[in-house]
Chain A
Amino acid sequence: MTTTLDIRAYHLRLPDTARPVLAGVDLTVDARETVALVGESGSGKSLTSRSVLGLLPHGATTGGTVEVDGEDVLTMTPDRLRRLRTSTAAMIFQDPRAAINPLRRIGDFLTESLRLNAGTGARAATDRAVEMLEAVGLSAAVLRRHPGQLSGGMLQRVMIAAALMGDPALILADEPTTALDVTTQAEVVALLGDLRERFGTGLLFVTHDLGLAAAISDRVYVMYAGRIAETGPAAALFERPRHPYTAALLNSTPRPDAPQGRLAAIEGRPPGLREDLTGCSFAARCPLATYLCSQQAPELLPVAGEPARRTACHHTDRIGTRGGADA
């Protein structure tokens, strides 16, 4: 199996912060694989996915490598980056209405990138746009519409069609269903799954919803304060978390089939960027934390007996099943 995206020891530092925003992220996506990157706001999940397209915040300094199809994005020339964004990797944003110019027709939006960056002729580009619209379940008539005439769900399909225009090897979806209704979410997720099968692309699905991540992906990465807390096959991770943060996140999510009453909330809040971190970034909120946790940051190491899983916790053996942290 070929690896489409390979991020290794990726560091990202912003000016005026006490700690790196991303502190050694390791993440891979294979061809035809769906990988979910889960975290709360400020965890660095969106920064990670944007880095794959070379979209770095102003003044950022980086370390490590972010390889797409074997080429490091961090050292690419602007010209090469543009080609990467046109034809190798594509991104689907959270709010389709904010990501499409409301004054242009859908047809212009879809064909623009191919015509300007890949030099495709207008005719060929339009043919491709029609093909992609049909792939996402929309008719060619949409080409002449304006964004304001389409519903949120339809617009997100247009976004997906746009992402497929350059026949990318990798699709980055940054909270693509958060702005949509729950029933529409299922439709968009089903579509993404079908297209991944059909076109053989890798999919990195960035979300805050652990339930959604477990439901749709092959593997999950859980991120906290700029580090990977835990990674592994979706079902196993959901069934038996090996990091206290994952366990706590699962327990604090209200579920329709759980009994009424208080939730096991995680007290406190994630560390800010102005605070320097020594030791484990979750230690301050963790029921299992010991002196060791406050002194030494745990490494992301394989879980005993489960080679596909890795976790960054000193006390992973003390985490129970499904009930999370037995503290």
Chain B
Amino acid sequence: MTSLTTFYLSGIIGKEAFGADGDAIGIVKDLLVNAAPTGINDPNQQLVIGVKLKIKKESKFYSFKSFIVTKAREVLNVTCTELAEVSPDEINNGLLLVENILDKQIVDMNGRKLVRVNDVRLVTLPTGTFAIAVDIGIEGLLRRIGISIPIKKVLSLFKVNMPSKYILWDDVQAIDHSSLNIRLSKSYAKLHTLHPSDLADILEDLGKKSSMSVFSSLDEEKAADVLEELETRAQIHILENLPVNKAADVLEKMPADEVADILDELEDERAEMLLKEMDTESSQEVRELLEYDDDLVGSIMTTDYLSFSATSTVAEVLVELRSKKPESVELYNMFVIESNDELIGSFNLRDLVVAEPNTSVSQIMRSEPFFLYDDQKTGEIAELVSKYNLLAVPVVDQNHLLQGMVVVDDVVEDLIHERRTKKR
């Protein structure tokens, strides 16, 4: 007997556990591991702490400390010295390998995508039994059905190896916590480290219940970033099912043009409810944008932009930027306006940085900036943007008063879309 035994979850489930005296006690139904209550990459999260044992007709959780798994001639033996029940608290904070992991979808943190688990690989060391990896390969599938070994033999005749794929336990984020009343924000801790786009892709692929619980676990800032990246269908699902006050909080953190786009897709009643719940400043901006028809520049412009008076100095502008800490898109192009909001010039970050601190804005600005009218068709943006290599274009109304700006990021999507439809 070695001190190290590796085995698969599929191998131990349904096995009879024997007592020290050799009598059968019960059947192994599930294994309980710590669900990383302390956060990320805690070695303890791999430890198997409990086992669900079916004794006669009743299933209960017992501490795994007194259980030993050994392998003799490829046959697993489960022996147990003592039956001690696990506290409900530990069960609630744990993760069940069969109920929450096996055959379920998990997030592969390394590949940043959803995968389905075919089996779980475990190891017994003198210090305890640990989950080391999940098997997502074809080999795992065949092993479960019980035809892995014969197929391997056939393949080896042709010198072909069966593809096997594993994900280390550290890279596993469980999604399905439905049976447990665990604190969600903690149980999804790993997910929160993902980029919003990746997170959005994962949410789109999840079922309705899971996508809601993952989304609800995000903090407002992250939630806003993720919501922005989601497909329309998923956005609608989230906004219709999130409590109104929480949804409004998230929307407040998003750029007004994005919010307008989303609310446009929602049913009027729900959109109105959300607008009422948002703070007046944010909702006012959104309402103005909603007034524009879909195909007009005004509908895709953002109202988050930076504008200065012509008499400010470069130093003053820099001080203001430092205190405001604007998003990077706002720095693509900054605008110079009269006191009545009339657009008279624009400058970019480079103009600002290379100028002497006491230069006035009027000296560094481009005095006849490119601009768009808010009631121009969106189709005309692309030409202007690509012809003059602009990153952001100011939008004015008929009186030449600044209303917002169109950012290239928002146009790119439309451009790609347009091209695709043309090709078709």
Do the two shown chains form a genuine complex with each other?
A: no
